[in-house]
């Protein structure tokens, strides 16, 4: 299978699973069911999707939430792959679904941070992961002041 289709399948699976835990699922569900039905999948599809959605919603905030999300995404990815192998024309509908429902990427280079909640007397760091940060001070260290 082409790399472009594999990327579409991955994005499609992530988009479908992401939609399952949002209010947009009601709108997207019929499109997803229709997409799978176009490949000749059985009528059990809506029930399986709802079971997955129920499990994902119930797992929000739980220790195994990411594992469950990963498992459901892998299952949807496999189904999408089988669908596109059986019906290559379904790729266009999957592409439209992804374009319509995938979260928009933020424009590159645009960042705006703001700090609220009162006075800040020291450095403020916003981000994901930080290690080995060192901040210098104008007055020296506490040890310097006691000697």
- Euclidean distance between CA atoms 67 and 20, whole angstroms: 16
Structure-token match 């439209």, residue found? 96
| Helix pair angle (90-101, 25-38), 10° resolution | 170
Q: What is the pLDDT of residue 44?
A: 46
- Euclidean distance between CA atoms 14 and 74, whole angstroms: 9
Tell me the pLDDT tens digit for each residue of 87-117: 989 999 999 999 998 776 666 777 777 777 7
Closest CA relative to residue 53, chosen from 74, 72, 75: 72
Q: What is the pLDDT of residue 92?
A: 94
Collect the ranges in the chain with pLDDT lower than 50: 43-44
Q: What is the pLDDT of residue 43?
A: 44
């Amino acid at each position: 299978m082409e790399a472009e289709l594999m990327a579409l399948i991955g994005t499609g699976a992530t988009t479908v699973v992401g939609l399952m835990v949002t209010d947009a699922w009601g709108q997207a569900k019929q499109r997803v069911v229709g997409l799978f039905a176009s490949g000749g999948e059985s009528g059990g599809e809506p029930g399986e999707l709802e079971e997955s959605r129920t499990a994902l919603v119930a797992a929000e905030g739980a220790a195994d939430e990411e594992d469950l999300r990963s498992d459901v995404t892998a299952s949807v990815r496999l189904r999408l792959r089988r669908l596109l192998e059986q019906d290559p024309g379904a790729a266009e509908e999957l592409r439209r679904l992804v374009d319509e429902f995938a979260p928009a990427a933020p424009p590159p280079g645009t960042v705006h941070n703001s700090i609220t909640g009162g006075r800040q007397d020291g450095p403020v760091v916003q981000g994901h992961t930080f290690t080995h940060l060192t901040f210098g001070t104008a007055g020296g260290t506490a040890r310097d002041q006691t000697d």
